[in-house]
Structure 1
Amino acid sequence: MSKSEKEKMVAGEPYYANAPELAPLRLNAQRACYRYNQIDPKNYKERKSVLKALFGSVPNMFHVEQPFYCDYGFNIEIGNNFFSNYHLTILDTAPVKIGNDVMFGPNVSIYTAGHPIHHEIRNTLLEYALPVTIGDNVWLGGNVVINPNVTIGENTVIGSGSVVTKDIPANVIAVGNPCRVIREITPEDKAYYYKQRKLADYNII
């Protein structure tokens, strides 16, 4: 039995994005995002209910600032205590899995969608999608872009404006375009809240 275009898409195989079976699924996500982005910010329960119906898996505790955009929604899985600032965009043609206690700055973009390099193949509207996985306790700074087929390890920090094109290990700080590891995160980092500014100076720790 041959696979549907949706099954090919989720499996990371070449598929046709203009397939009739996919259009209503995208429209459903577009309408859900439209509703979500129009809700009065004080109506927190209504906002959560829209995303719970849209996403594939959600916890009880999460917060996504408006506006938010995605392709399908059902491929998005978020962990507990997830927070995203304004203008999160997730092109979830493949699964996007986000761990617990993850924070996103504004204008974060996650792209699982891709197109063939050669124009003749690309013009047939053949596409592919590869998953993105983000571990627990990750912080993505503002304007970070995550490309397809990337895994970010737990406890890692990605600096603002970075473009992540390959896997980033756990427990590191990584920045740049393309994003590269600059150093490990160590126990000594617990003493500071910003560069050399110590928490102890404010009687916090």
Structure 2
Amino acid sequence: MTELEKMQLGVEFDPDANEIQVLRHQTFTLIQQFNRTFAPKGRALAKKIFAKVGSQTIITPPFLCEFGKTISIGDRCFINMGVTMLDNAPITIGNNVLIGPSSQLYTASHPLDFKKRRQWECCNLPIVVEDDVWIGGNVVICQGVTIGARSVVAAGAVVTKDVAPDTLVAGVPAKMIKHIESEHDNNIGE
């Protein structure tokens, strides 16, 4: 198993491994280019940066990530300016997702034990954002979280636990405010 695969699986890995350093450097260079351009050239660069970028997806510069190839983005998504994705583990974004400005997705965390932090120990868990989610501006999504389909995360929320589908969450830490009923729900059986 490669050090990159270990990192993505959340097991102990060597952050100084050549393959990790090469990918980090390549992504840094591409991100710098991406942040100085816009569509259609920006789209071509995005396809080089990410594992997947769906059709009609717009990513507005500036955008920051560390590896890129661990991020998959579905169709018809809009990622607003200033978004940061710390992508040590996979980040999967579904279709029709809106992500507000200055939002941050963190797959990495560090131990509470300061001695382990001195060794730069890191634990990585994936983040999943399912279809039709709206993430407001300045939201933080922590490692290991899944945001359920059709949910809304209010601006400024810090999401530390999974969000059920069809819910509105807000606050620090984010808590469910209400169940969201869509027109689709009201038309079931018609």
Which of these residues, 84, 95, 115, is aligned with residue 90 of structure 2? 95
Per-residue deviation at 1:114?
A: 1.3
Three-state SS of the structure 2 residue aligned to 1:110 is: strand
Equivalences for 1:89-168 in 2 at 5 Å? 89-168=84-163
Deviation at 1:132, TM superposition (A): 0.1
Query: Which 10-residue stretch deviates more, 100-109 or 21-30?
Result: 21-30
Deviation at 1:14, TM superposition (A): 2.2
- For residues 188 and 47 of structure 1, what CA distance do their matches in structure 2 show? 36
Unaligned runs of 5+ in 2: 186-190
Q: Which residue of the other structure, out of 44, 51, 56, is the alignment partner of 1:61? A: 56
CA distance in 2, matches of 1:128, 1:17: 12
| Structure 1 length-normalised TM | 0.86
The root-mean-square deviation of aligned C-alpha atoms, in Å, is: 1.5
**Higher gyration radius (CA):** 1
Per the alignment, residue 72 of structure 2 pairs with 77
Q: 1:186: which partner in 2?
A: 181
Task: With the length of structure 2 as denominator, give the TM-score of the two structures.
Answer: 0.93
- Alignment check: 8 A CA contact 1:33 1:68 kept: yes
In the TM superposition, structure 1's runs of 4+ consecutive aligned residues that sit over 6 Å from their partners are: none
Structure 1 residue 127: deviation in Å? 1.5
Correspondent of 2:20 among 11, 19, 22: 22
Deviation, structure 1 residue 180: 0.6
- Deviation of 1:126 (Å): 2.2
Maintained 8 Å contact 2:55/2:74? no
**Which residue is 1:31 aligned to?**
29
Counting matched residue pairs gives 185
Offset from partner CA, 1:86-144 (integer Å, 9 cap, x none): 10110111000000000011001000011122111111122121000001000000000
Q: Residue 174 of structure 1 contacts residue 180 of structure 1 at CA under 8 Å; is this kept in 2?
A: yes
